[in-house]
């Protein structure tokens, strides 16, 4: 359906002249200039209605750009001179838009067409706001994607046949997504289409953006921000939502927040309507996981505050994915919006019942029936998921990594950061598990000639990652970390390694359970060596030239879930790329990023952010020693919004 613009006979805001008594023989009114009325539309956001002429005498009202079309006759909500409520609903089918400022008139007949004014049952002065009905075009706007990342479908639900049978009996399109927080397991089911406009479920996204804005400024939520978040979430207040949407920077702020939250398939509306944000059920289930588990994007305090709001939804809006679960066990947000193709009704939440929990999103649309029909569909899905929730559990708990966590030099389960100063002293910055590090502590001396350091992985299986170092004369040495937190005595395990331009270690690239070291030659070809538990090296194979244009290489934890660790490279021009291991070769991924040449050094210590996604987060050190942590994501990606690392690396030319 193409965008339409329909003129509406209504009445322009009363001017001073119109408020005066009209003389018996008044001169013909001169055509007035168009008047713009700012409105907020239920479940959509802000827009502007342009009123041309005196609408009680044949003037028009329209929205001149975007997917909204004014239909029917205007309404009014306010009070008369006695303080009695005056409420006249606008005619037409669609969403209601309410003016943001009051209109004042000596009589309702001077604000509305006669057919509407007669419904007022009042005479005399009135004060209030004009209302309009708008249709929302069902043609999806072009998605201004922030990246070209492909969308990876999740697994099928273990009880898909039951869900399919139920949804085949229901009208309209339905998208379902379920996640078990903290496990990496997710499932989807789609009937016709999973993509939908958010309507008011975007308010959780907006709340998250406000929280991240506060965190970036190093502060808590202000009293004003809280005063808007509470009605936005609990009562789905559209005025509060519009105020916060503008507060985060509108469309661009929403897209930035989507990037940080990992919502790869969620895009803000190009006309700046928050309620017409395009999304998928999978993204919305992922959004709720940020509140269900420790999140790199949201602080504990903000997560708990958001959950408090979503657990205290207005009783009239307490429907949807709460169905089936015990009362009070679901943190919830719903959204609903009539469009030209029927009602769009969505429900997202986190269900927490004893030891079982899951996030869920159900998006429905393309149903010309009543809103209640789609609510019933959502609640039917929710009951099926809750009834079968035991099937969402992993069949067996994941086994701990026998080689320890790469980069954990102290054995406390948290990734640490090491570095060497100019005089040859080695320091460790103990990790806090949340992406930051403590002040440096000396752990060894005598390495002034060393030109490369790397974590070896847990060579001797004592629960601590060990260290490899290349001396200036080409000797490769192994240093086992000790229980006291110091580096052990260097043991030379190879010579002549100055022939390699760079080394990468601390991973298992062929999935055989043994640690590997990858060496890059000047040609870009790479050699694989296997490091035994006793600290001896064995040549395995020579690869082609995956890193021909990438002079610096690092081994990174398995990015594609195949059980093999992978390779990341940075070129002299600052481009970063990842290759996945096939066990006997390398496959180049499509994800790249640029600008890494502006950093003095780039290191991949491990999963420093504590998200338990086992991805290699990136530490980037600026020339002045200030450092940033980029959180790694699936498929070799990383966030574009790093966090600052507290301690300076100014005296450490080598960081690993």
Q: What is the pLDDT of residues 458-482, one digit of tens each?
A: 999 888 999 999 999 999 999 999 9
Mean pLDDT of 398-421: 76
Instruction: Compute the distance between CA of residue 350 and CA of residue 564 in angstroms, rounded to an integer.
Output: 33
Among 362, 389, 390, CA closest to 170: 362
The pLDDT assigned to 4 comes to: 36
Structure confidence at residue 642 as a pLDDT band (50, 70, 90): confident
Q: Is the pLDDT of residue 340 over 90?
A: no
- Is the dihedral angle over the CA atoms 634, 429, 568, 503 positive or is it negative? negative
What average pLDDT does the chain have? Answer: 87
- Cα gap 295→414, rounded to integer Å: 16
Grouping H, G, I as helix, E, B as strand and the rest as coil, residue 241 is: helix
Closest CA to 599 of 575, 632, 633: 575
Q: How far is CA 33 from CA 12, 56, 59, 516, in A?
A: 10, 15, 11, 76
Which residues are CB-neighbours of 202 under 8 A, at least 6 positions away? 254, 274, 275, 277, 279, 335
Return the pLDDT at 194. 80
Q: Quick one: pLDDT at residue 28?
A: 44
pLDDT at position 141 is 53
Three-state secondary structure call for residue 631: coil
- Structural class in CATH, domain 417-655: mainly beta
What pLDDT score was predicted for residue 21?
A: 34
Please state the domain extents for the chain: 16-136, 157-392, 417-655
Summarize pLDDT for 150-197 with one digit per residue, the tens: 344 568 899 999 999 999 999 999 999 999 998 888 999 999 888 999
Distance of CA 216 to the CA centre of its chain: 16
Q: Return the pLDDT at 41.
A: 96
Cα distance between residue 455 and residue 301, in whole Å? 34
| Interval 572-600 mean pLDDT | 89
- pLDDT top residue among 234 and 412: 234
Residue 213 confidence (pLDDT) above 60: yes
pLDDT score recorded for residue 250: 96
Decide which of 512 and 4 is more confident.
512
223 against 611, higher pLDDT: 223
Per-residue pLDDT, averaged over 82-102, amounts to 94
Q: Who contacts 310 (Cβ-Cβ below 8 Å, separation ≥6)?
A: 204, 233, 291, 331, 332, 333, 349, 350
Q: How confident is the model at residue 544 (pLDDT cuts 50, 70, 90)?
A: confident
pLDDT at 557 over 90: no
Pick from 385, 371, 367: nearest CA to 188: 385
Higher pLDDT, 382 or 19: 382
Indicate the SS3 state at residue 500: coil
User: Span 264-290, mean pLDDT?
Assistant: 95
Average pLDDT, integer, range 404-425: 86
Per residue in 219-263, pLDDT (tens digit) is 999 999 999 999 999 999 999 999 999 999 999 999 999 999 999
Please say if the pLDDT value at position 22 is more than 60: no
- Which of 109, 138, 106, 136 lies closest to 121 in space, CA to CA? 109
Cα gap 634→258, rounded to integer Å: 15
Spatial contact of 626 and 551, defined as CB atoms under 8 Å apart: no
So what's the pLDDT on residue 140?
Answer: 57
How many helical (H) and strand (E) elements, i.e. helices and strands, does the chain have?
10, 36
pLDDT for 144 equals 46
- For residue 423, the cross-strand partners are none
d(CA 398, CA 646): 33
**Number of residues that make up the chain:** 656
Q: Does residue 27 carry a pLDDT above 60?
A: no
CA 312 from centroid of its chain's CA atoms: 23
- Considering only 5-9, 554-558, 570-574, which range has the smallest mean pLDDT? 5-9
Pairing of strands 576-581, 566-570: antiparallel
The CATH architecture one would assign to domain 157-392 is 3-Layer(aba) Sandwich (3.40)
Q: pLDDT tens-digit profile of 424-437? A: 999 999 988 888 89
Report pLDDT for 23. 36
Whether residue 323 has pLDDT greater than 70: yes
Q: Say which residue, 13 or 317, is predicted with more confidence.
A: 317
Partners of 226 in the beta sheet?
A: none
Q: What is the pLDDT of residue 341?
A: 82
What one-character DSSP code corresponds to residue 21? P
24 pLDDT higher than 50: no
Of 326, 324, 330, 329, which is closest to residue 387 (Cα–Cα)?
324
* 405 pLDDT tier (thresholds 50, 70, 90): low
Residue 498, pLDDT > 80, answer yes
């Amino acid at each position: 359906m193409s965008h339409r613009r329909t003129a509406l006979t209504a009445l322009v805001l009363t001017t001073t002249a119109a408020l005066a008594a009209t003389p018996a023989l008044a001169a013909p009114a001169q055509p007035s200039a168009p008047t713009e009325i700012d409105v907020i539309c239920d479940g959509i956001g802000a827009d502007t209605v342009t009123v041309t002429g005196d609408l009680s005498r044949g003037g028009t009202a329209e929205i001149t750009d975007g997917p909204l079309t004014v239909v029917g006759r205007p309404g009014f909500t306010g009070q008369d001179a006695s303080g009695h409520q005056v409420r006249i609903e606008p005619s037409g089918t669609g969403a209601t838009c309410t003016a943001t400022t009051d209109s004042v008139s000596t009589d309702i007949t001077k604000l509305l067409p006669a057919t509407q004014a007669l419904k007022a049952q009042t005479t005399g002065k009135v004060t209030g706001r004009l209302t309009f009905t708008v249709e929302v075009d069902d043609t999806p706007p072009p998605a201004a994607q922030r990246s070209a990342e492909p969308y990876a479908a999740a697994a099928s639900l273990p009880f898909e046949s039951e869900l399919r049978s139920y949804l085949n009996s229901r009208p309209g399109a339905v998208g379902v997504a379920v996640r078990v927080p903290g496990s990496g397991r997710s499932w989807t089911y789609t009937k016709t289409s999973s993509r939908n406009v958010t309507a008011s479920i975007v308010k959780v996204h907006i709340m998250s953006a406000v929280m991240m804005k506060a965190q970036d400024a190093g502060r808590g939520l202000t009293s004003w921000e809280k005063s808007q978040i509470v009605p936005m979430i609990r009562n789905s207040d559209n005025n509060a939502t519009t105020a916060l949407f503008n507060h985060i920077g509108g469309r661009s702020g929403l897209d930035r927040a989507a990037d940080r939250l990992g919502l790869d398939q969620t895009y803000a509306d190009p006309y700046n309507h928050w309620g017409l944000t395009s999304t998928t059920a999978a993204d919305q289930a992922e959004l709720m996981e940020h509140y269900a588990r420790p999140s790199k994007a949201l602080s504990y305090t903000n997560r708990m505050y958001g959950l408090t709001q979503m657990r205290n939804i207005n009783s009239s809006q307490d429907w949807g994915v709460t169905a089936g679960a015990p009362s009070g066990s679901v943190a919830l947000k719903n959204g609903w919006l009539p469009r030209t193709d029927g009602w769009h009704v969505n429900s997202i939440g986190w269900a927490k019942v004893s030891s079982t929990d899951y996030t869920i999103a159900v998006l429905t649309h393309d149903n010309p029936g009543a809103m209640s029909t789609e609510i019933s569909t959502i609640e039917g899905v929710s009951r099926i998921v809750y009834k079968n929730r035991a099937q969402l559990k992993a069949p067996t708990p994941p086994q701990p990594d026998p080689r320890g966590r790469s980069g954990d030099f102290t054995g406390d389960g948290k990734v640490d950061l090491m570095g060497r100063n100019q005089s040859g002293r080695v320091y460790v910055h103990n990790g806090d598990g949340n992406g930051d590090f403590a002040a440096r502590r000396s752990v060894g001396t005598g390495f002034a000639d060393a030109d490369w350091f790397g974590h070896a992985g847990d060579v001797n299986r004592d629960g601590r990652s060990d260290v490899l170092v290349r001396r200036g004369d080409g000797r490769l040495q192994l240093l086992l970390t000790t229980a006291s937190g110091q580096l052990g005595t260097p043991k030379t395990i190879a010579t002549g390694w100055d022939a390699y331009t760079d080394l990468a270690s601390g991973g298992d690239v062929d999935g055989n359970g043994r640690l590997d070291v990858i060496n890059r030659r000047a040609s870009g070809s790479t050699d694989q060596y296997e490091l035994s538990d006793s600290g001896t090296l064995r040549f395995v194979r020579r690869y082609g030239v995956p890193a021909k244009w990438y002079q610096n290489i690092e081994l990174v934890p398995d990015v594609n879930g195949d059980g093999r660790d992978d390779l990341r490279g940075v070129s002299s021009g600052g481009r970063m790329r990842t290759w996945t291991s096939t066990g006997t070769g390398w496959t180049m991924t499509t994800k790249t990023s640029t600008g890494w040449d502006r950093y003095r050094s780039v290191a991949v210590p491990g999963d420093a952010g504590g998200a338990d996604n086992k991805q290699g987060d990136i530490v980037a050190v600026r020339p002045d020693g200030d450092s940033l942590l980029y959180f790694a994501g699936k498929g070799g990606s990383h966030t574009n919004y790093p966090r600052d690392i507290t301690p300076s690396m100014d005296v450490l030319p080598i960081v690993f």
